[in-house]
Structure 1
Amino acid sequence: MKKLNYIFLFCFSLLFTNCQDFIDNAPDDTLTMEMVFNDKTRMEDWLSGVYNKIPDPYWGLMKDYGYDLLGDDLDPSQRWEQFWGDGALKYRTGQWYTNSSWSGDLWAGAPIRIRSAYQFIENAHALPNQGVTESDIEMMKNECRFLIAYYYWLMIEAYGSVPFFDGLANVNDDNLMRGQEPFDSMVDWIDTQLVDLSKKLPESWLNKSTQFYGRATSIMCLAVRARMLLFAASPLVNGNEWYKGFKNYDGRERFAQSYDANKWKRAATACKELIDAAHAAGHDLIREYNADGSIDPFMSCYNVFFLRGDLNKEALFCRADCGFTDYENHSTPRGASGNGGLGITQTLVDAFYMKDGSIPISSYKGNYGTPNINTESGYTERGFSAQKDIRKTKYNLYRGCPNATVDSVGADGCTYNQVAAAGTYNMYVNREPRFYLTVMWNRQWYHQADRETQFMSNEPDGGPTHDAPQSGYLNRKKVSLEQKSRDGIHPYRPGILYRLGEAYLNYAEALNECDPGNPDILKYLNLIRERAGVPQYGTGTDSNGFKMITLNGQDEVRQAIYRERRVELCCEDGIRYFDLRRWKKAEDVLDQPMYGMNFSGTKLSDDPNDQNAYFKRTQYLVRKYERKYYWWPVHQTEVDKDPTIVQAPFWNEE
C-alpha cells in the first residue's frame, strides 16, 4: 500500500480549498492514496486542488501576481506598499532583487499542482459503485494533462526557462536536479500536449451542468496555445540578440539565437484554428443593440465582463471564482466607502481615440508630461465643455444626476444618455465609448453616492491619504454599474482569462508579420472596432456610417494593431505588460516618470502656472525598469541549493 506522509499532504491541502475538511480530520500517517482515490468525493476534491493555481484575473493578477500593475494601465496607490509589503508595488520603483518575495510564486506553487496532477493520472481509477466510470476517469486525467501544460506555460512566460518533468518524479531520485529546459523546447512540448488534448476534451461542459463551468475544454487548449505561440514568435524570444551566448547548465542556449519568420506563421495558424473552433462552438463577440438595430458600443463592451459565464459567448477560458469584490472596493471612491486608490495612468487616458477615431496624442516630447497633440483631432487640454456629451446608448453613468439628460428616447426610438456633463474638463469629452467604460475623473457624477467625485486634496475622495487615486483617476474597467461598496453589493461575474476579442487581435498581429496585406488582418481588426463604435480601417464608409481610416503598409498596420490592443485589452490579465515585454518595449515605456492630474491640487483650474490647479499634467511617480526585469528572477535560495539552476539573464550582473 502506498502511503502519503500526512504532513506532506497537509501542506498540499493548505492550497487545495475543497480538500481542507477531509485532510484536517485524518489521523497522522493513516491517509493513503488508496483512501483518496477509492472515494469519489476525495478524488474530486483532489482534482479541484489541481485547478487551484489558475490565476484570479481580478484581485489575484493585481496584488498577488502583480502583472496588472507592472504595465502602464492600472495604477494602484504606491502608498499601499506599507500594507502589501514586498511585491510588485516595490518592483515598479526598481526595488526588485533575487531575494524579493513574490506572492504569485509560480516557481514553487505551479510544480506542486503539476506533481499533484501527475499523481492523479497515476492513481485515479473507475469507481463503478460510486458512479465514476472509466470514461469519467479518462476525462479527468485529460483535464490534469491540460493543467500541467498550462502551468508550465505560466512558468516559462514568467521565467523563460524552468526544470521540466514529463511524468511523476521519484522524490528520492538524484535526477531531480536537472537544470532548466530551453524556452523553445518547452513551447514545443506544451504545443503538442494542447493540440492532442483539443481533440479529447469537450468544447463545453454546459450541456452537463453550470457546476462544471471553468473546467478544461478543447477551446481553452487552443486559446492557451494561440497566446503562447504569439509570445514565442515575438522579438523578446525570437532571435533576440540580448541573450546571445546565454546558456543553461547543460550548455544549451536558453533562447533561440536566430530569428525564425516561420514562428509568426505558426502563431497565425494557431490563432485561426482557435477562432474557427470557437465560432463552431458558438462563441462570438458580445454585441448589444439599439432600438434601430445599430450596435450599442457602450453596452456591448461593458457586458463582455458582466454576462454570466454560461451566457457569455465571448469568454473562452474563465475562473469561476475570483476576487472581484476587492477589485471593486479598491475602484470605489474613498468617500463612498471604498478603498479608492486603484487608479489608471495618464498614458492610458491619452491612448483612447476620439469619437471620430482620430488619435488625440501622437507622441511625447521627452516624457509623458509634454504630449504632442494632434490638433486635427479636436482634442485639447485647455478649458471646460460648454455642452453635455450625449450618446446613443443605454449605458447610464449619470443616473440620478439632477443636471443630466438621462434615458431620453429620440425620434428614432433609441435611448440616449449623457457620458460627460457640461463643465467637464475638455480632455474627457468627445472620446470613444471605451474611454467612458474605463476612466473615472474628478467631478464626474458617481451615481452610487448621488454626487460628483471629489478627488482634490483634502476632499472626501482625494489625498493626501493612500486611499485616493495618485494619478487623479479611478479605474472603471470591469467594475459593475450595480455595485455598491457601502452596502456590500457586488454582482457576480466570472473571471475571464481568455476571450475571443483578444484572439482576433492576436490573429491580426501574427498575420501582419507573416503575410502583410492579407485581408483577414483588417477583417478581424475591424470586427473589434465595429463593436467598439469607432471608425473602421479601409476606404469609403463603414458599417456604423463612419468615414473609414486608410492604413498604408505593414508598419502602419502594425502600429494600428498595437494601439487597438492598448485600448481594447487594457486592465485585463496583465496583457499590456506581456505585450510590452514580448515587443521589447518595456524599458522605453516603463522606465519613465509617470504623470497624471495634480493629486495635490485644490482648485478646479487648468492653469499650468498655478501650483494649486488640479487639471494639469503633474509627475507623481518615477517608474524604474531595467533589462533584467524582462524575466522573473529565480529566488536566490533556489539557486543556492541547486547548482544546475542558472539565474535569469542579467540578474547576476552588478
Structure 2
Amino acid sequence: MKKTNKIIYSIIFICIMSCDSYIDIVPDNVATFDLVFNNRANAKKFFYTLYGYLPHFSDVNSNIGLVGGDEVWTHQTWDGMRLSIGEQSKANPIYNLWGNGGRLEPHVALRDCNIFLNRISDVRDMTEDEKTRWIAEVKFLKAYYHFYLLKMYGPIPIIDENIEVSEDVISVRIERDGVDDVVDYIVSVLDEAIENLPPRITLEGEELGRATKPIAAMLKAKVLAFSASPLVNGNSVYSSWTNNAGTPYINQTYDANKWTLAADACREAIDLAHEAGNNLYKFSTAYNLSEETITKMNLRGAITDRWNNEIIWGQANPTTNTIQNNSFARIDDEFSGSSSGQVNSYYSIPLHMAEIFYSKNGVPIEEDNSYDYSSRFDLKTGDEANKFYVKQGYETIGLHLDRESRFYASLAGDGILSYDVNNEADDTSLFVVDAKNGGMAGYLNERQFNQTGYWPKKLVHYKSAIGNNSFTAENYSWPVYRLADLYLLYAECLNEVSGPVAEVFQYVDDVRERSGLDGVQASWTASSNNPTKPSTKEGLREIIHQERSIELAFEGHRFWDLRRWFKAHVLLNSTSMRGWSYEKATAETFYNQVEYGVTEFSIRDYFWPIAEDDILANPNLDQAFGW
C-alpha cells in the first residue's frame, strides 16, 4: 500500500485555518488515557464505546441503506429521502460522515480504536487471553469503519495510527489512498482479527453482537466482493480521478482474480458460519398451520426471530420498535380510532418493488409463460388457490395473486392476509389488509398514512400488535449479516469466476427452497419464456442480482448492491415512485397508479462529496469525482 496515515488523538480532519487554531483545538489527553487504561473496568467501558460507534442498523436516520434508494417511499423528510431525490450537495452533504457531521463518525471511531490498540497493554488486571480477544475485536471494528467509509467515499486515507499531539499542522493534511490499497489494508487487518476471535459467542446473555470469526470472515467477503465489482474494478469512468502523482484512485485494469479472492473469502465465511451452528432459518410452531403459512414465516422469522441461527451478526440496540411502528399495517378492527394512531404506518413500498418478486413458479412475472402479465393491474377476486395469501372473495388485482411466498412474507398490501399473534393458532381466519381510504389500514390523517399501498411486513414481528391505545412491539435483533446474504454473495462471486456451475446453483437453490421454490434450472426450464437464461454467466448474473433484491428486500442491502454493480445510475435515475390512490375508497378508484416522487441519481452520486470546508482546510484532499 502507498502509505500509512495517522489520525490526531482528539479530532479528525478538523478545519485547520492556522497553527494557532490547531494548537488550541488539540488537548493533551495523556492523563485521561492513563486513567482509562489503569484497570480492566475502565478499559472495558472504553472498549464498549468502540461498538457504540456502529450505525444503528434499524434506524432510518443512521442506516442510509434503508431509505436512501428505491425500496421505500414516504412523505417524511428523512435524510435518506432527500438523498434519493437528488438533493445531495458539497456545501452541506447529506449524511455527512467525513467531518463534523453530527453523527456517529467513523473517523472518531478509528481514532479511538487506535488509542485502544496502543494502550491496552498497559492494563495490568487482565489475562493475556482476554487482551488478545479484545484486540482482535477492535481490529474487526477498525476494518469495519474503514469499509463503511470506503463504500461511501471510495478512496479514503488509511488511518492506521494516531498523530501525536506534538506533530505539526502539515501532518494532518493527509490525502486519499487508492481503493485497492484500502481494500488490501482492510483485508490484512481482518486476517489478523479472524485468527484470534472466538468461533461463536458462548456467554449469550452478555456478549451477543460482539465480533466472532464468522462475522469478521463475512465482512472480509463483502470487502473483497466490493473490490471485484464493476464500480471499482477497472471502471474507466474514473480514469481522470487521480492523485497528485497522476495515478487513478480506482484501478483502470479489470482484474478477474478479484472475483476468485472474493469467492474464496465467501467460502471461508460459510465454513466458519456452519461450524458455529448457523443455518437457514425454518419456522417452527406447536400449531397445525398450513404449509403456505409456515413457508411465509420461514422468511419473516429469519428477520424477526430474535437471535435465530441464521443471523451471523445481529444488533439488539437500539430496539426495532420504531421501524416496526412505521412498517405496521393496521389490521385488527377491534382497535380503531385513537388506538389506530399508535402506529405511524408510513413506511411505504413503491409499486416496482412489488413487481420484483417472482411468480409462484419462481421466475420473474414478465418471463412466466403462464402468468397474465399484461393484466396484472386488472381487478381480480381472491380465490381458493390463493386462500392462505389473499382473502377469498376480496376484490384486489392480479398482481397480488399467484406470487411466490416471499411476496406475501415481505409485503402487506390490499387484500393480502397477515399472520399475527391474534390468530396464531388458526391460519384459516387471518386478518386482511384493507388499504383503501376508510379501510382499517387506510388513510388515517395527514401524517399517519401509507402512500403506496404496500408495507414491509417482513420487518414486523408477528407478535407485535396494537392494543387499547397502545402499540407493543416484539423487539428482535436486527440481522446485520445473515446466512442467506452470504450464500447469495458466494453464488454471485463464484458465477463470475466459473460461470453457471453446480455449486453456484446449489447456494441459490438452497435459499429458494426455504421459500418453497424449485431450483433455478428447473424453474426456468418449466416456466420461463427465456429457458436458457441460467445457462450463461450473464443470464445467471441477472438472476442472482434479482434473487438478492428479493431475499434481502428492505434490509438495506439493495442500496449498496446497486452501487457496487454500477447499476444505480440506470435504475435510480428519474425512476418513478408509484403506488395506489390512497385517498380513494373503492377498488375501482384505489387501483389507479399515482406517481408520488422520482428518484434521481447520476454518476457523481456513487461517492459522497466532502464538505467544501474540509476541502479548503486540507489542500491535499481531493473532492469526490464529479463534485
Between stretches 330-339 and 273-282, larger displacement belongs to: 330-339
Q: How does 1:583-594 map to 2 (within 5 A)?
A: 583-594=565-576
SS of equivalent to 1:247: coil
Letter in 2 for 1:57: F
- Of residues 557, 561, 582 in structure 1, which corresponds to 2:540? 557
- 520-529 vs 462-471, which deviates more? 462-471
Whole-Å Cα distance in 2 between the matches of residues 166 and 426 of structure 1? 56
Which residue identity is paired with 2:255? D
Q: Give the deviation of 1:624 after TM superposition.
A: 1.1
- Residue of structure 1 in register with 2:224 after alignment: 229
Instruction: Specify the SS of the correspondent of 1:491.
Output: coil
Bigger Cα displacement from structure 2, 168-177 vs 507-516: 168-177
Q: Which amino acid aligns with 1:346?
A: L
| Letter of the structure 2 residue corresponding to residue 644 of structure 1 | N
Deviation at 1:478, TM superposition (A): 1.6
- Encode CA deviations 1:55-90: one digit per residue, 9 max, x unaligned: 22211xx22342221222122x1x311xx4xx2221
Cα gap change, 1:541 to 1:598, in 2 (>3 Å): closer
Runs of 4+ residues deviating >4 angstroms: 28-31, 289-295, 388-391, 443-454, 457-460, 539-542
The Cα of 1:171 is off from its aligned counterpart by 4.0
Alignment of 1:47-446 (within 5 A): 47-59=47-59, 62-75=60-73, 77=74, 79-81=75-77, 84=78, 87-103=79-95, 105=97, 109-125=105-121, 132-173=126-167, 174-206=170-202, 208-288=203-283, 296-309=294-307, 312-333=308-329, 335-361=340-366, 376-379=370-373, 380-390=376-386, 417-423=388-394, 424-444=396-416
Deviates more, 1:347-356 or 1:488-497: 488-497
Q: Aligned residue for 1:396?
A: none
What is the letter of the counterpart of residue 504 of structure 1?
Y
Q: Tell me the equivalent position of 2:502.
A: 519
Tell me, yes or no, if structure 1 residue 33 matches structure 2 residue 4: no
After TM superposition, give the deviation of residue 614 of structure 1 in Å: 1.2
Q: Specify the SS of the correspondent of 1:199.
A: helix
Query: Residues 119 and 564 from structure 1, CA distance in 2 versus in 1: closer, same or farther, beyond 3 angstroms?
Result: same
What CA distance in whole angstroms lies between the structure 1 residues aligned with 2:306 and 2:454?
28
In the alignment, the residues of structure 2 paired with residue 185 and residue 239 of structure 1 have an alpha-carbon distance, to the nearest angstrom, of: 14
Per the alignment, do residues 480 and 539 of structure 1 end up closer, same or farther by CA in structure 2, a change over 3 Å counting? closer
**Could you tell me how far 1:456 is from its partner in structure 2?**
3.6
Local SS of the residue matching 2:247? coil
- Determine the structure 2 residue equivalent to 1:5: none
* 1:579 aligned onto 2:561: yes
Counterpart AA for 1:297: T
| 2:583 maps to 1:640 | no
Residues 360 and 403 in structure 2, CA contact (< 8 A), matched pair in contact too: yes
Contact between 2:581 and 2:591, CA under 8 Å: does it hold in 1? no
User: Structure 2 vs 1, CA of residues 540 and 50 (structure 1 numbering), >3 Å: closer, same or farther?
Assistant: closer
Residue 140 of structure 1 deviates from its aligned partner by 1.1
- 1:360-395 CA distance string (max 9 Å, x none): 135xxxxxxxxxxx563245221222524557xxxx
Q: Paired residue for 1:371?
A: none
Q: Which moved further from structure 2: 237-246 or 487-496?
A: 487-496
Rounded Cα–Cα distance in structure 2 between residues aligned with 1:386 and 1:509: 37
The amino acid that maps onto 1:73 is: E
Unaligned runs of 5+ in 1: 1-7, 13-27, 363-373, 392-416, 607-612
Q: CA deviation at 1:155?
A: 0.5
Alignment CA distance shift 1:465-1:388 (3 Å) = farther
Q: How does 1:533-572 map to 2 (within 5 A)?
A: 533-539=516-522, 551-572=534-555
> What are structure 2's unaligned runs of at least 5 residues?
1-8, 13-27, 331-339, 423-429
Q: What amino acid sits opposite 2:453 in the alignment?
A: G
CA distance in 2, matches of 1:283, 1:507: 16
Equivalent pair of 1:64/1:102 in contact (CA under 8 Å): no
The separation in 2 between residues aligned to 1:42 and 1:599, in whole angstroms, is 57
Rounded Cα–Cα distance in structure 2 between residues aligned with 1:58 and 1:50: 19
Q: Using the alignment, how far apart are the partners of 1:575 and 1:116 within structure 2?
A: 28
Q: Distance in 2 between matches of 1:560 and 1:188?
A: 30
SS of the counterpart of 2:161?
coil
Cα pair 1:596 1:618 within 8 Å, conserved = yes
The CA deviation string for residues 443-496 of structure 1, in whole angstroms up to 9 with x for no partner, is 545668997545445766327724322222222122111112552411121121
TM-aligned CA deviation for residue 597 of structure 1: 3.2
Determine the C-alpha separation between the residues in 1 that align with 2:385 and 2:446: 32
For the residue of structure 1 that corresponds to 2:159, the secondary structure is: coil
TM-score (ref. length: structure 1): 0.81
AA matched with 2:53: K
Structure-2 separation of matches of 1:593 and 1:235 = 22
Matched residues, number: 568
Query: Residues 177 and 644 of structure 1 are in contact (CA less than 8 Å); yes or no, is this contact kept in structure 2?
Result: yes
CA distance in 1 between counterparts of 2:382 and 2:391 reads 11
Hey, what's the Cα distance between the residues in 2 that align with 1:56 and 1:465? 28
2:465 alignment counterpart: 484
Q: Which residue identity lines up with residue 226 of structure 1 in the other structure? A: A
Q: Is 1:470 equivalent to 2:451 in the alignment?
A: yes
SS in 2 for 1:649: coil
Tell me: CA distance 1:503–1:645, structure 2 relative to 1, closer, same or farther (3 Å). Answer: same
Deviation at 1:642, TM superposition (A): 0.7
**Residue pair 2:417, 2:433 contacting (<8 A) in 1 also:** yes
Per the alignment, in what secondary structure is the counterpart of residue 80 of structure 1? coil
Q: Distance in 1 between matches of 2:233 and 2:276?
A: 33
Asked whether the equivalents of residues 593 and 620 of structure 1 are also in contact (C-alpha less than 8 Å), the reply is no
Instruction: Supply the distance in 2 between the matched residues of 1:303 and 1:253 (Cα, whole angstroms).
Output: 45
How much has 1:151 moved relative to structure 2? 0.4
Q: Identity rate of aligned residues, in percent? A: 25
Verify the 8 A CA contact 1:107 1:155 in the aligned structure 2. no
SS at the partner of 2:608? coil
State the SS of the aligned residue for 2:581.
Answer: coil
Alpha-carbon distance in 1 for matches of 2:92, 2:437: 34
Q: For residues 529-585 of structure 1, what are the alpha-carbon distances to aligned partners after superposition, in whole Å with 9 as ceiling and x for unaligned?
A: 10111121235999xxx9x9763222221111111111001111x210111111111
Q: Matches of 1:629 and 1:352 in 2, distance apart? A: 27
Q: What SS does structure 1 have at the residue aligned with 2:195?
A: coil
Q: What's 1:631 paired with?
A: 607
1:39 positional shift: 3.2
Per-residue CA deviation, residues 302-345 of structure 1 (Å, 9 max, x unaligned), is: 21122332xx2211122231341110111124735211210111
Shift of 1:30: 11
**Per-residue CA shift, 1:476-533, capped at 9, x if unaligned?**
1221111125524111211211111111111111111111132111011100110111
Query: How many angstroms apart in 1 are the aligned matches of 2:383 and 2:485?
Result: 36
CA contact (8 A) 2:283 2:298 kept: yes
TM-score normalised according to structure 2 size = 0.84
Q: Secondary structure at the match of 2:162?
A: coil
Q: Distance in 1 between matches of 2:272 and 2:363?
A: 34
Q: Which moves more between the two structures, 314-323 or 213-222?
A: 314-323
Is the CA contact 1:434–1:567 (under 8 Å) kept in the aligned structure 2? yes
Instruction: Tell me the secondary structure at the aligned position of residue 284 of structure 1.
Output: coil
Q: 1:72 & 1:589 partners in 2: Cα distance? A: 9
What amino acid is aligned across from residue 32 of structure 2 in structure 1? T
Give the match for residue 496 of structure 1: 479
- Which of 574, 579, 600 is the equivalent residue of 1:597? 579
Which amino acid is 1:234 matched to?
S
CA contact (8 A) 1:339 1:467 kept: yes
